[in-house]
Every structure is written in structure tokens, then in C-alpha cells.
Amino acid sequence: RQLMLNHDEL
Amino acid sequence: MNIFRLAGDLSHLAAIIVLLLKIWKTRSCAGISGKSQILFALVFTTRYLDLFTNFISPYNTVMKMIYLGCAYATVYLIYMKFKATYDGNHDTFRAEFLVVPVGGLAFLVNHEFSPLEILWTFSIYLESVAILPQLFMISKTGEAETITTHYLFALGMYRALYLINWIWRYYFENFFDLIAIVAGCVQTILYCDFFYLYITKVLQGKKLSLPA
């Protein structure tokens, strides 16, 4: 879930 | 990072650079919707607020700065430097009809009810409809300069490539972001009509003109 909120896409 | 996301980012970068060069070289923004460019600047501003607080990678930071810089430079060229060539009579789409509903939706449907996350969600939803003023303007003028159609093709392809990137990340990284995927589908679908015209006309060497 944390991955989701750590938006790594432009 | 996968090849589809990289291709998408490069397509997006190409679109932004092509537009900026078109306006700068021809010293004219005829046929370009200033409203869409303002919406894109708003998309990048609300999406990249964590530019200095959340470091992902040098690539990520550099690309965000280029996108932001080019977006504001384009708006500046349209509304200030080459204001005389701005075709306001045909750029009449009511952008507030996009921003207000998108703003409301971002409040209602998001991953987390926090300021940064709501603004990120707002930028995702807004980006999916930000091209509408531009497409509307082309339908009103009934034509588009060839360079403008190349800009739109690259811009439309960027999110289409991102859709493939999300399929890739679903299977190989177990990554899945429904908000980005749904908005990306809407965004890409809005280009379908243009893609058809681009492939059947522009790629055949004809000028893009709509049946007025």
C-alpha cells in the first residue's frame, strides 16, 4: 500500500 | 522502470519539446489551445509538489523539472510573448467545466485523504481531460498544422504506452493503481478519434482537416 502512495511515475 | 514507461516518458518529453520549438521557431501559437497548456501546467504543478521532498531518482527529478519548466515556458510564450498570435476566438472551451468536477472527484475518490494525495489524484484526473480544449479548438477551426498533429500524436501515445507499462507492472511487480489506470484509459480513449485522422490523413501526407 505504501508503494502505491509513493508515486514513482512521472 | 520498464521499456514501455521509458518510451512513454520520452514520447511525452518529445511532445512537450516539439510544441515549445514550434511556437518558438514560428514565433506563433496559432492553432494551439492556451487553455490546455494552462491545464497541463496545473497538472504538473499539483503532481510534482513532492519534487524536493520525495527523491525517487535523478531521472525522476530531472524529468519533473523539465516538464514543469517547459509547461510554464509554453504558457508564457502563448499568453505573453506571442500573445498577438493567440487565437482566443477559437480557444473557447470552458476549462472550469473540467477543473471543478475533477476537483470534486479528487476529494471523493482517492487513495488517501491527505493534501498531497488529493492533489496528486486531482492532477491524474485533470490530465485525462486536459487535452479537450485543444481537441475542441481543432474541431472549431476544422484543421491543424502538421507539426501540431505530431505534437498531439506523441502526447496521446505517451499515456497509451503507460497503459502497457501498468499491465507490465501488474504482472511483474504486482503494482496496481486503479485511479491512474482508469484515468489513463479515459485519456487515451479521448485521442482515438484524432489517432484515426492522424493515421489515415497525416501519415498519408495529407493535411489534417475535419469535415467542418
CB distance B16 to B127 below 8 Å = no
B12 Cβ contact list (under 8 Å, min separation 6): A10, B67, B154, B155, B158
CB contact under 8 A, A9 and B117: no
Does residue B209 sit within a domain? no
Nearest Cβ partner of A4 from B64, B165, B177?
A: B177
The nearest alpha carbon in chain A to B43 belongs to A10
Q: Find the domain containing B150 and state its range.
A: 3-204
Does residue B27 sit within a domain? yes
Does residue B125 sit within a domain? yes
> Per-residue pLDDT for B132 more than 60?
yes
B24 vs A4 pLDDT, higher one: B24
Residue A5, pLDDT score = 77
Does residue B210 sit within a domain? no
* Total domains in the fold of chain B: 1
Residues in chain B whose Cβ is within 8 Å of chain A:
5, 9, 12, 47, 50, 54, 56, 60, 63-64, 67, 111-112, 117, 120, 162, 165, 175, 177, 180
Report pLDDT digits (tens) over B151-192: 999 999 999 999 999 999 999 999 999 999 999 999 999 999
CB contact under 8 A, A10 and B117: no
Secondary element (H or E) of residue B146: helix B146-172
Report pLDDT digits (tens) over B46-97: 999 999 999 999 999 999 999 999 999 999 999 999 999 999 999 999 999 9
Question: Looking at this predicted complex, what is its ipTM?
Answer: 0.91
Does residue B212 sit within a domain? no
Does residue B173 sit within a domain? yes
Stretch B12-17: mean pLDDT:
98
Q: Compute the distance between CA of residue B107 and CA of residue B117 in angstroms, rounded to an integer.
A: 10
> Per-residue pLDDT for B212 more than 90?
no
Report pLDDT digits (tens) over A1-10: 445 678 999 9
Q: Compute the distance between CA of residue B86 and CA of residue B81 in angstroms, rounded to an integer.
A: 10
Does residue B211 sit within a domain? no
